Amino acid sequence: MPAATSKSAFLRGIRAAAPFLVVVIPFGMLFGVVGTEAGLSLVEVMSFTTLVIAGASQFTALQLMAEEAPTLIVIASALAVNLRMAMYSAALAPHLGAAPFWQRALIAYMNVDQTYALSHQNHEDHPAAPLADKVAFFFGTCVPIVPLWVAATWTGVVVGAAIPPQLGLDFAVPITFLALIGPALRTLAHVAAALTSVVMAVLLSFLPWNLWLLAAGLAAMIVGAEVERRMALRGRP
Amino acid sequence: MSGYSTLEVWIIILALGVGTFLIRFSFLGVLGDRDLPPWVLRHLRYTAVGILPAMVTPLVLWPHGAEGGLDPQRIAAAAAALALGLWTKNPIWAVGGGMVMFWCFGWLLG
């Protein structure tokens, strides 16, 4: 009986994740195209996309490498973009933390924006569901997202070789970031953080080794958090 | 990318792979079911929206270096992508619109 309900939770996860392919496939392809144009080999691009599975940080690393930033700065900045996933991990732990170690390791590996968001919603909708169902739902959401992200990157590498450089695809990276920022400006605090980020990037641009990026990010996080705290005190979302 | 040896490229790939996994595994794997202090959660909410705009700013404002001057083609494309993202909440429309603007501008300037 639990097996039967787990199976239906697994199928529900697959169905819930399917619409996200509209976003996942083009971004995966774009990473393949841009990574190839930046000079990475097929094996390097595919290792990147398979090990990291996080578009924004992968593009961050590519951009900094194009600017020939020091290796440590590339790593620190791209990881900073992924820090939000510690929050995802903390949010999933109360629901999935009792699963066996290997399952938790697999969940962590595939804990990306989409699978997290869908699972979070599932836990809100079915808080009392058994552990096996919650785990099954999570893995269900991974079924379309993760393999197609990797396959899309591979397609991008193959297609990218045929794209002429005059198309200006190097500018697709900042355009991609802007496209992610717009929908993320959900509250006044998000807007304040983004504006701080822009202003600090200009003011601190004299700093060496691309350190302005981490400094601007830190300042923006502090401003975002502070605006959120004050808004909450005033009783507004 | 010419500035990196093959070894350095692999160090970056592996460090990002391991580091990202550890971030994702943190609470699920090691720290367990315990609450993060609210102030930490508050800051983590703004990591992506805090770093990505800083990343974009110089690429849009001075793509050819500080003395290169403004590039209307890039600014128009960036504005289109941001506006479409805000309006549609859909990053794919925003990327598509931004790149179309970029190409149209390039074609007009000839």
What is the reported pLDDT for B81? Answer: 94
pLDDT at A1 over 50: no
**pLDDT digit string, tens, across residues A127-179:** 899 999 999 999 999 999 999 999 999 999 999 878 777 777 778 878 888 98
CA distance B75 to chain A (A): 10
pLDDT at A236 over 70: no
Domain count, chain B: 1
Per-residue exposure over A13-48, b if at least 16 CB sit within 10 Å of its own CB, e if not:
bbebbeebbebbbbbbbbbbbbbbbbebeeebbbbb
Chain B residues in contact with A79 (beta carbon < 8 A) = 15-16, 19-20, 23
Report yes or no on B105 lying in a domain: yes
CA distance A208 to chain B (A): 14
A90, B32 in Cβ contact below 8 A? no
Number of other residues whose CB lies within 10 A of the CB of residue A195: 15
For residue B100, give its domain range: 55-109
What is the reported pLDDT for B40? Answer: 82
Least confidently predicted of A15-19, A167-171, A224-228: A167-171
Nearest to A217 among B15, B50, B59 (CB): B50
Percent of chain A that is helix, strand, coil (3-state, to 5): 80, 0, 20
Query: Does the ipTM exceed 0.95?
Result: no
pLDDT at A31 over 90: yes
Percent of chain A's residues with pLDDT above 70: 97
What is the reported pLDDT for A35? Answer: 92
Report yes or no on B28 lying in a domain: no
pLDDT category at A184 given cuts 50, 70, 90 is confident
Report yes or no on B86 lying in a domain: yes
Query: What distance in Å separates the CA atoms of residue A221 and residue A86, rounded to the nearest whole number?
Result: 15
Extract long-range pairs of A65-69: CB within 8 Å, 24+ residues apart.
A65/A38, A65/B1, A65/B3, A65/B4, A65/B9, A65/B12, A66/A38, A66/A170, A66/B1, A67/A210, A68/B1, A68/B2, A68/B3, A68/B4, A69/A209, A69/A210
Q: Check residues B3 and A89 and name the one with the higher pLDDT.
A: A89
Report yes or no on B37 lying in a domain: no
Residues A180, A211, A218: CA angle, nearest 5 degrees: 55
Report yes or no on B70 lying in a domain: yes
Percent of chain B's residues with pLDDT above 90: 44
Q: Check residues A70 and B33 and name the one with the higher pLDDT.
A: A70
Report CB contact under 8 Å: B48, A84: yes
Number of other residues whose CB lies within 10 A of the CB of residue A228: 23
What is the reported pLDDT for B2? Answer: 62
Query: What distance in Å separates the CA atoms of residue B32 and residue B77, rounded to the nearest whole number?
Result: 45
Report yes or no on B44 lying in a domain: no
Report yes or no on B65 lying in a domain: yes
Instruction: Count CA atoms closer than 13 A to B25's CA, side-chain side.
Output: 16
Report yes or no on B101 lying in a domain: yes
